[in-house]
Chains A and B, each alone.
Chain A
Amino acid sequence: MASVDSAMNREQRGRPSQIWVVASFILVAGLALTPAAIDAYSLTVVRDALIFGLLALSLDYLWGKSGLLSFGHAAFFGIGAYGVAIIGPKVAGANAALAGLLVGEATAIAVAGLVGYFLIFGGVRGPYFTIVTLAITLVAQHIAIGWSRVTGGDAGLIGAPPPGLELFGISYSMTDPVEQYFLVLAIAALCLGSLWLACRGHYGRVLAAIQDNEMRARSLGYNTSLHLLIVFVLSAAMAALAGSLYAVVSGYVAPDLVGLLLSTEIIVWVAVGGRGTLVGPMIGAFLIIRLQQEVSTINPRLWPMIIGIFFVALVFLFPDGVLPILRRGARRLIGLIGRERRT
């Protein structure tokens, strides 16, 4: 029982425990072998799920690690995607996607920095922060639909360039779906790994402290607003990266990439996977997207309704997410088995 207790303690410190590290390795190894096992179409499904997993990870960095919940992450995802789809075709050569990515990133960082600065340094926290970020998504969606000359309106844009690089006269365009899949996997794993490394030490504890009691952290000398702003901007940049990736590998963008539905879905992915666990939300995205496909084969209109009801249930019934409930269940199960053995 002592070992279970200490494991729980480690969990409760807000660090991913060894279980999560092992789970991440198995997951990445499994994903690396996936292309050999499934057909081309299924591979694109897994690839997209990975991209949305990266998007979920970006929100978990903000919501899970710093406590700020953003409804604006679909907007940042969209900015990254539209950046590639708008700028990319205008640039000749293999660097087209990269140019679009840079423009998308710069825009996302500027928007997050500007809005974030006024919100966070203005002392806006909790639900108020969430509501204002909701406005970012609404504005972005209106621009995506309304400014049709540039964004293609409801139809969206096709012809986003594939990933590529041109350097010192050597040019390479990545058009092979399997290669693209590995690119996505590598970026997602890199983001997950670096966030995990960054958050497991002192930095993660500082963020946890700010989340617990911001006033106290400030009185200890931490510039908490600056910390939160940096997290918000980095998180938005990561969401934009996911968006750019989506555009370069799928070749098209549409307004539903910036919509409110996507923003809600990201939150559900994180909540289901376990807020603050980093890898959990990526798994959450996988599972929910799979479920979405099953539901959509019955009736495509069913999904927004289900996700909406689920979201309301989430807020009222299990605000800490689904994972703690499962964990409590698992603990009780372990306890029961332990008791069985002793008797």
Chain B
Amino acid sequence: MTTGLLQANELAKSFGGVAAVRGVSLRVDPGDLRCIIGPNGAGKSTVFNMLAGSIRPTSGDILFQGRSIVGRAIQEFARLGIARKFQVPSLFGSLTVRENLDVAMQRGPQGRERGERIDRALEMLELVDRQDMRAGDLAHGQKQWLEIGMALMTQPRLLLLDEPTAGMGPEETQRTARLLLGLKGQTIIVIEHDMNFVRALACPTLVMHQGKIIAEGGFEEIERSELVRDVYLGRQ
């Protein structure tokens, strides 16, 4: 049996006796786009933080390209090719948009090729005319896009996005979905609770509730599920 690009086995995390995540397993293959949804407090962000290396699981294992990565330093996760976008935009506010993208490319080409790669990213993010603006002065949605762009500059094998549309209006949300769908071949895991966004992505989806995965399947299937609706409407 192959382990895919990323495989999590029976991940569990408790904070001072409170079990935030209880036995979550998932597997992602190269090129997959996968969503993890669930109401607030379902443990989505905890799973995300374990996958990104900022929280160490209480038990369970995470295999990346077949090797266990639990307990490694955060910068090593980045070097393995796991890039993350934080929930709250966290940019380098005093640097310009262009400089943010430059710093985000920790390695990568030098000279002209480097500049061209930044140019392409600016175009994709539709931030060409904002490139010399301080990142801290961008509008909220633009900050989120810049963050996605920064995560992409490392040409990651796996892109982890934590609520990329948090605080966005409907139009910006749709644009974010288009941006992600445009990244053909990029492996992405998205944590989200905005149903409209996940609907626009129309990808295989995991539903979490009270620290466990309660449903898994295509989005349409998930949306029709009685159980999922109950969870979202708080009936269960």
Contacts and interface: CB of A to CB of B under 8 A. Distances in A.
Contacts of B74: 215, 218-219
Interface string B120-144: 0000000000001110000000000
A208 B78 contact: no
B92 A9 contact: no
Interface stretch (B3-11, B96-104, B194-202, B208-216): B96-104
Interface string A251-262: 000000000000
A212 B75 contact: no
A231 to B, nearest CB: 16
B159 to A, nearest CB: 12
Contacts of A9: 96, 132-134
B62 to A, nearest CB: 16
B84 interface: yes
Interface of B: 52, 54, 74-75, 77-79, 83-84, 86, 90-96, 99-100, 102-104, 106-107, 132-134, 150, 154
A-side interface size class:
20 to 34
A14 B93 CA distance: 11
A13 B74 CA distance: 27
A211 to B, nearest CB: 8
A216 B91 contact: yes
Interface in A81-98: none
Interface stretch (A111-119, A220-228, A233-241): A220-228
Contacts of A221: 75, 78-79, 106-107, 154
16 contacts: A9-B96, A9-B132, A9-B133, A12-B96, A13-B96, A209-B100, A212-B95, A216-B86, A219-B54, A219-B84, A220-B78, A220-B106, A220-B154, A221-B78, A221-B79, A222-B75
Contact of A213 (B75, B91, B96): B91
Nearest to B132: A9
B149 to A, nearest CB: 12
Given A9-B132, A9-B134, A13-B99, A220 B104 contact: yes
A13 B135 CA distance: 10
Question: Taking each of B86, B95, B133, which has the highest tally of chain A beta carbons within 10 Å of its own beta carbon?
Answer: B95
B103 A217 contact: yes
A222 B103 CA distance: 10
B90 A215 contact: yes
A12 B75 contact: no
A206 B99 CA distance: 9
B52 A13 contact: no
Contacts of A218: 74-75, 78
A213 B90 contact: yes
Contacts of A13: 94-96, 99
Question: Taking each of A9, A206, A218, A221, which has the highest tally of chain B beta carbons within 10 Å of its own beta carbon?
Answer: A221
